[in-house]
């Protein structure tokens, strides 16, 4: 099967970022890349903060945070009154777990595609409370209908206190049918937390249309915001029960203020997040989404062909704007987290290419991302050089 042509590049997009041109940055999904305009906006805010810290924190900061919150919520299709800013999605997950009031006899259900730090957070909370953590096994190539059946049969009404499911999985780059999953869970009276770390900026589905009890998403990945910018969206029934991980002077103000205010935290990342969205909108949101997904698909096929991966194993994530793809690695490679990290470091050092190397169900996976600052030749160069490196075990 021939490799599909790459998308047309977006002229000038590479110049909007300050990335080192000596390295191919094919792993946008891990830490993102902040456009220069957002970097400068944040630096101006830092300069303002340092010129008069008391004035910055005391005079009008709450209003500025609220304005940013409304701006981001509108972009995500979320209720501003049910949205709180947070440092990252994992923090939002920890807040939700603390809020539930879990007790012995309860259970939290996740899938084996879940993000590692979220899984660790669930395990820690379950260990503290005597709650059972059950993991639903979802085959790598499962269809949406198969995923829904696994979820339907995996919930236990009366015992399952929370279902955690990814919108786009980190390790396997799969788009899960989260709205349908939420519908199934609601029928059984099970609250759902959607880990949407990769959704803001990448996907078009609004938070309202998903209807989850809790939804967490990072803006510092595909939304071009400075790092440390995320949101937790909470349905009306849960808002009064949400408690921050650390109590602050805004404790009595309720949600979202009690969650957002942490005294002397650096709020400049949040306040400059709209500048990142400005860059995305200037390029054209739909145009960027389509370009990135097509470029990731091109990279997957080019690298997959170089590693002699059968086309049937080069999985489609199931969504037209999913800008991450996986390539199975040869047997015996990256079968553990430590081995995956070591291989990722070798690729970066030897080939000057930043990629994500994952392990799933004992198999190594190479995760490639597509972004406006990438070009087809970066994947082509990786395809030429990677087989030799992998052969040098």
Q: What is the pLDDT of residue 176?
A: 98
Residue 127 and residue 201 in one domain: yes
Instruction: Give residue 57's region: left, alpha or beta (phi > 0; psi -120 to 50).
Output: alpha
**Which residues fall within 8 angstroms of residue 357, CB to CB, at 6 or more apart?**
329, 334, 340, 341, 343, 344, 347, 364, 365, 366, 367
Tell me the three state secondary structure of residue 107: strand
pLDDT along the chain (393 residues), means of 10: 84 97 98 98 98 95 97 98 97 96 96 97 96 97 97 96 98 97 97 98 96 98 98 97 92 93 94 98 98 98 97 92 97 96 98 98 97 98 98 85
Q: The CATH number of the domain where 222 resides is what?
A: 3.40.640.10
State the DSSP H helix or E strand holding residue 214, giving kind and residue range, or none if neither: strand 214-218
Determine the Cα–Cα distance for residues 291 and 283; give it in Å rounded to an integer: 11
For the record, the structure tokens of 133 come out as: 């953590």
Last residue of a domain, one of 228, 262, 277: 277
Q: What is the pLDDT of residue 2?
A: 67
Residue 194 and residue 74 in one domain: yes
Q: What is the 3-state secondary structure (H, E, C) of 139-175?
A: CCCCCHHHHHHHHHHHCCCCCEEEEEEECECCCCCCE
Residue 273 and residue 288 in one domain: no
Determine the Cα–Cα distance for residues 33 and 211; give it in Å rounded to an integer: 30
Determine the Cα–Cα distance for residues 258 and 246; give it in Å rounded to an integer: 9
Residue 322 and residue 343 in one domain: yes
Q: What is the pLDDT of residue 157?
A: 94
Last residue of a domain, one of 277, 310, 331: 277
DSSP 293-311: HHHHHHHHHHHHHHTT--G
Q: Which residues of 56-88 are buried (b: 16+ CB within 10 A; e: fewer)?
A: bbeeeebeebeebbeebbebbebeeebbbbbbb
Residue 251 and residue 138 in one domain: yes
Determine the Cα–Cα distance for residues 167 and 48; give it in Å rounded to an integer: 37
Residue 85 CB-half CA count within 13 A: 30
For the record, the structure tokens of 114 come out as: 């879940």
Please indicate, yes or no, if residue 362 is contained in any of the structural domains: yes
Residue 266 and residue 362 in one domain: no
Local structure of residue 374 (DSSP, 8 states): -
Please indicate, yes or no, if residue 351 is contained in any of the structural domains: yes
Helix count and strand count (H, E) for the chain: 15, 12
In which domain, by residue range, is 349 found?
13-31+284-391
For the record, the structure tokens of 51 come out as: 């010129």
**Partners of 187 in the β-ladder:** none
Residue 160 and residue 265 in one domain: yes
Query: pTM here?
Result: 0.96
Local structure of residue 365 (DSSP, 8 states): E
The percent of the chain in helix, strand and coil, each rounded to the nearest 5, is 45, 15, 40
- Beta pairing class for 24-25 and 356-360: unpaired
Q: Which residues of 335-372 are buried (b: 16+ CB within 10 A; e: fewer)?
A: beeeebeebbeebbeebebbbbbbbbeeebbbbbbbbb
Residue 252 and residue 304 in one domain: no
Please indicate, yes or no, if residue 63 is contained in any of the structural domains: yes
Residue 72 and residue 221 in one domain: yes
Question: What's phi and psi for 164, nearest 5 deg?
Answer: -110, 125
Q: What is the pLDDT of residue 1?
A: 52
Domains contained in the chain, number: 2
- Beta pairing class for 24-25 and 353-354: parallel
Please indicate, yes or no, if residue 4 is contained in any of the structural domains: no
State the DSSP H helix or E strand holding residue 240, giving kind and residue range, or none if neither: none
Local structure of residue 322 (DSSP, 8 states): -
Alpha carbon 120 to chain centroid distance?
A: 16
Residue 272 and residue 295 in one domain: no
Question: What's phi and psi for 140, nearest 5 deg?
Answer: -55, -40
Please indicate, yes or no, if residue 321 is contained in any of the structural domains: yes
Residue 250 and residue 315 in one domain: no
Q: The CATH number of the domain where 345 resides is what?
A: 3.90.1150.170
pLDDT digits (tens, 9 = 90+) for 235-271: 999 999 999 999 998 899 999 999 999 888 999 999 9
Nearest to 195 by CA among 212, 183, 209: 212
For the record, the structure tokens of 34 come out as: 């902040």
Please indicate, yes or no, if residue 5 is contained in any of the structural domains: no
Residue 176 and residue 268 in one domain: yes
For residues 98 and 243, the answer to whether their CB atoms sit within 8 Å is yes
Determine the Cα–Cα distance for residues 293 and 288; give it in Å rounded to an integer: 9
State the DSSP H helix or E strand holding residue 134, giving kind and residue range, or none if neither: strand 132-136
Please indicate, yes or no, if residue 334 is contained in any of the structural domains: yes
Local structure of residue 179 (DSSP, 8 states): H
Last residue of a domain, one of 277, 304, 328: 277
Please indicate, yes or no, if residue 1 is contained in any of the structural domains: no
């Amino acid at each position: 099967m021939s490799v599909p042509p790459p998308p047309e590049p977006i002229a000038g997009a590479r110049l909007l970022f300050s990335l080192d041109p000596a390295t191919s940055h094919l792993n946008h999904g891990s830490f993102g890349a902040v456009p220069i305009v957002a970097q400068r906006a944040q630096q101006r805010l830092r300069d303002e903060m340092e010129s008069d810290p008391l004035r910055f924190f005391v005079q009008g900061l709450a209003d500025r945070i609220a304005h940013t919150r409304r701006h981001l919520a509108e972009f995500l299709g979320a209720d501003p009154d049910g949205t709180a800013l947070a440092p990252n999605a994992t923090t939002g997950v920890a807040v939700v777990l603390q809020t539930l009031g879990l007790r012995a006899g309860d259970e939290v259900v996740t899938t084996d595609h879940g993000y590692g730090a979220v899984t660790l957070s669930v395990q820690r909370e379950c260990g503290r409370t005597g709650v059972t953590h059950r993991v639903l096994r979802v085959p790598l190539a499962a269809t949406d209908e198969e995923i829904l059946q696994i979820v339907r049969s995996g919930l236990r009404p009366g015992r399952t206190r929370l279902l955690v499911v990814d919108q786009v999985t980190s390790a396997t780059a799969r788009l899960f049918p989260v709205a349908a999953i939420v519908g199934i869970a609601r029928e059984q009276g099970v609250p759902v937390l959607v880990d949407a770390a990769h959704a803001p900026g990448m996907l078009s589905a609004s938070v309202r249309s998903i209807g989850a009890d809790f939804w967490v998403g990072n803006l510092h990945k595909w939304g071009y915001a400075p790092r440390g910018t995320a949101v937790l969206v909470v349905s009306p029934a849960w808002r009064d029960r949400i408690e921050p991980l650390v109590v602050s002077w805004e404790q009595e103000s309720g949600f979202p203020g009690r969650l957002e205010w942490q005294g002397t935290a650096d709020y400049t990342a949040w306040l400059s997040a709209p500048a990142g969205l400005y860059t995305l909108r200037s390029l054209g949101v739909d145009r960027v989404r389509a370009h990135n997904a097509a470029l990731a698909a091109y990279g997957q096929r080019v690298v997959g062909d170089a590693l002699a991966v059968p086309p049937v194993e080069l999985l489609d994530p199931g969504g037209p704007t999913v800008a991450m793809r996986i390539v199975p690695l040869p047997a015996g490679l990256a079968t553990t987290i430590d081995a995956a990290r070591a291989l990722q470091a070798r690729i970066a050092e030897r080939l000057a290419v930043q990629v994500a190397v994952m392990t799933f169900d004992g198999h190594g996976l190479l995760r490639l991302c597509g972004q406006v600052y990438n070009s087809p030749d970066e994947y082509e160069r990786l395809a030429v050089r990677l087989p030799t490196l992998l052969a040098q075990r």
